[in-house]
Structure 1
Amino acid sequence: MPVKVVCAGGGPAGLYLAILLKRQDPSHDITVHERNPEGSTYGWGVTYWRALLDRLQEHDLDSARAVEGASVRWNDGVAHVRDLTTRHHGDEGFGIGRHRLLELLADRARALGVRLEYESELTEPPTGADLVVAADGVHSALRTGHAEAFGTEIVSGRNHYTWLGTTRVFDAFTFAFVDTPHGWIWAYGYGYSDEGSTCVVECSPETFTGLGLDRADEGEGLVLLEKLFADVLDGHRLIARPGAGWLTFRTLTNRSWRHGNVVLLGDAAHTTHYSIGAGTSLALEDAMCLAGALGTHADLSEALAAYERRRRSELLSAQSAARYSARWYENLPRYIDLPPHRMFALLGQRHSPLLPYVPPQLYYGLDKAAGQLEVLRRLKRWLGPRAARALHARSGARRG
């Protein structure tokens, strides 16, 4: 049965949901409203992994092929700690420019008959729509207008970070840790095209103020960061989006993802710390799940309930990983003086719920043993999801 769907937000989640719904039924009436002009974007590059690409291919082969064709890939991770460097071979990763990703998804949506309205912001659910999708990000105007109904909570993290671009094209997922008189500052970078890379810089509040980054203007801050990361940048520039500045990460949760005929999607519903590189992937998976629920359940209320129930369950593992990843960086001095190959190994294990409670050297030895003993591998797999569910239960109890 044809339905009228209005989507607030022309990011990856909103565009991909429109694509999937049009593929389900070309007679659906779907309009996507985006508050920014077409071709503008706030980010640099998006990173994702082979598992997401496989899922994209299952849901819409045309857009998957376009995204893969516009992506760069890597298999290695590199860590620079002071004057030492270590490189590990790992899983295949991909990077694509955010602007290019949005362009590809918008072209595919238009080809299927989706209406795209740019410089058009929805602050209230429009009348006459069967379904209104709030895919307008962490600052969602639709969600904010009904924050009590959704039960929105936002918790700010401790560390400061800034999202930059660079003309240096990294050939691996690159970490750089620099020791300063005011504490450690670090960056993670990955290529997204043959012309540039994303470079996220992070530090503790003490380092932020000690280096004077709280008082520096944009130009002064970039000059200082370019000096600190001169070795890894290899003479290339850092580039800031005007007005981006420094932030603290905001973890957003909602007691409910639906209110009437309005449903939350992507960062409007939940955020996960940037250090696990999963934000866009999780938003696209939200779109897959919502489209699947709408295609399976004739009743809208049942479809939205099924979508929320399934995605909340699926997100537990990623949200747990994100919390522990953020904590790893907040406690960087605990790990940074290990031999570089050991520090890098524990960097790769930063999602573990056990790592904060086990001495790093001991954990490293146990992890090596777990790689050789099946019983320990099974124990780690068993503990991870249970720790995530326990944390989720405790969080719910505190809210209650």
Structure 2
Amino acid sequence: MKVVCVGGGPAGLYLSILLKLQDPSHDITVHERNPEGSTYGWGVTYWRGLLDKLHERDPVSAQAIADHSVNWNEGVARVRDLTTRHGGDEGFGIGRHRLLELLAARARSLGVRLEYESEIDAAGPTGGADLVVAGDGVHSALRTRHAAHFGTELRPGRNHYIWLGTTKVFDAFTFAFVETDHGWIWAYGYGFGPDRSTVVIECAPETFTGLGLDRADEAEGLALLEKLFADTLDGHALIGRAPADGSSSWLNFRTLTNRTWYRDNLVLLGDAAHTTHYSIGAGTTLALEDAIALADALREHPQLPRALAQYERERKQALLPLQSAARYSAQWYESLPRYIQLPPEQMFALLGQRHSPLLPYVPPQLYYRLDRAAGRLEALRRFKRWLGPKLARTVQARNLSSGRQPEEVPERRG
């Protein structure tokens, strides 16, 4: 099979690796419009479940990714002068530049051709490919050309955000909320290397304009943000990367959906097919899982239409709960004043519950009490499940020692 991948991000590179491992005779070329080694962003996150899946498919690239990642299993939340730390799932961070470098090296070693500074636009040639993979991001030219067929919808979020780096190395996934005269501004921070972390800073439109971030140049904006988050950064600097076209580094997150994910021999992958709000940290994971699902479908079904239909069906189904979680997580931050004034233990608890579809419709303090009660009930259920077999064994032992048959139960009195 001749395959052309448009876009040299994690999804396109990993798909090329998997397809070559399945059949080395596949003719695969990955086209990336940017020079090799250039990328946007800082570090990306993923979780233990993804690493396990990568090890199952290709232990070589999985081990390389793990060796160049940092990990954490705690979360930290700071509001004003209050800080709380709590345990969580094992998370990992890796520099996006490093991740692409590792995947590109593995793809090359398997015989994949990587063509950098090679842009395939909507009308560009694809060399008679059997399969064309649009992995060219949220603004995919290949998808846009057939937007009516794909049923593309792009919905901008309300808040502004900026993606920055810092020399401060966070030892846990960190949330920091700062109150200003113009409203709240907050940051998500996580490490991705021995000397670097990512910091995503977000605020409401009125805070953005009130602080003058809409008018500040890059240096002025970074200086202001460093001052606001001085306690969280421990005096470390923030590092920006202004876009080459001179546009603002501040963005509004865009939620992208498509009614269908393929057209003839063209299929969408990663951000070209879907986006989920960055506050759930799933973008890279979902892109790599897309690649896994597409490779599996192509292996199971020699007929391309059946393979692409299976891929679309499985991934859309798998995305439903994550898209819901991302939508409610974004809504939680857009409604921050509803939660930020709660007592600290309640606010921190609801930060962890921000994916709940019920939370926006229940008064926060009532939701907190209900959640606590439900937690106690679940703890009681777990205790009963643990205690039940022990009681059964105790009763059985007493029955045997008293001469009763095991199935007999002593008469209950009182």
Please give the TM-score of this superposition, normalised by the length of structure 1: 0.92
Return the offset for 1:375: 10
The superposition leaves residues 102-155 of structure 1 with CA deviations (integer Å, 9 ceiling, x where unpaired) of 011001101111100000111135141000000011111211222222221111
Return the offset for 1:5: 0.3
Answer yes or no: is 1:253 the counterpart of 2:257: yes
Partner SS state of residue 93, structure 1: strand
The superposition leaves residues 233-280 of structure 1 with CA deviations (integer Å, 9 ceiling, x where unpaired) of 111011111225111011111121111110000000000000000000
Q: Could you tell me which of 90, 98, 101 is aligned with 1:100?
A: 98
Q: Could you tell me which of 257, 262, 269 is aligned with 2:266?
A: 262
Return the offset for 1:44: 0.1
Return the offset for 1:342: 2.0
1:165 is aligned with what amino acid?
G
User: Counterpart of 2:49?
Assistant: 51
Q: Could you tell me which of 296, 301, 319 is aligned with 2:305?
A: 301
d(CA) in 1 for partners of 2:215 and 2:27? 50
Return the offset for 1:360: 1.3
Q: Could you tell me which of 46, 71, 77 is aligned with 1:79?
A: 77
d(CA) in 1 for partners of 2:381 and 2:60? 38
Partner SS state of residue 256, structure 2: strand
User: Counterpart of 2:367?
Assistant: 363
Q: Which structure 2 residues correspond to residues 148-187 of structure 1 after superposition, within 5 A? A: 148-187=148-187
Partner SS state of residue 189, structure 2: strand
d(CA) in 2 for partners of 1:377 and 1:354? 23
2:250 is aligned with what amino acid?
W
Return the offset for 1:340: 2.0
2:21 is aligned with what amino acid?
R
Residues 49 and 34 (structure 1), Cα distance of their counterparts in 2 relative to 1, 3 Å cut: same
Q: Is the 8 A contact 1:157 1:249 kept in 2?
A: yes
Answer yes or no: is 1:133 the counterpart of 2:133: yes
How many residue pairs match? The answer is 376
Partner SS state of residue 297, structure 2: helix
User: Counterpart of 2:392?
Assistant: none
Cα RMSD (Å) of the superposition?
A: 1.4
The superposition leaves residues 319-377 of structure 1 with CA deviations (integer Å, 9 ceiling, x where unpaired) of 00000000000000111112223211111110011111111112122222222324999
d(CA) in 2 for partners of 1:370 and 1:34? 50
Range with bigger deviation, 240-249 or 38-47: 240-249
Answer yes or no: is 1:275 the counterpart of 2:246: no
Q: Which runs of 5+ in 2 are unaligned?
A: 383-414
Q: Is the 8 A contact 1:369 1:376 kept in 2?
A: no
Q: Which runs of 5+ in 1 are unaligned?
A: 379-400
Partner SS state of residue 14, structure 2: helix
Q: Could you tell me which of 292, 299, 302 is aligned with 2:296?
A: 292
d(CA) in 1 for partners of 2:353 and 2:52? 24
Runs of 4+ aligned residues of structure 1 deviating over 3 Å after TM superposition are 374-378
Range with bigger deviation, 307-316 or 333-342: 333-342
Return the offset for 1:178: 0.3
d(CA) in 1 for partners of 2:354 and 2:3? 40
User: Counterpart of 1:212?
Assistant: 212
Q: Higher Cα Rg: structure 1 or 2?
A: 2
Identity of aligned residues (%): 77
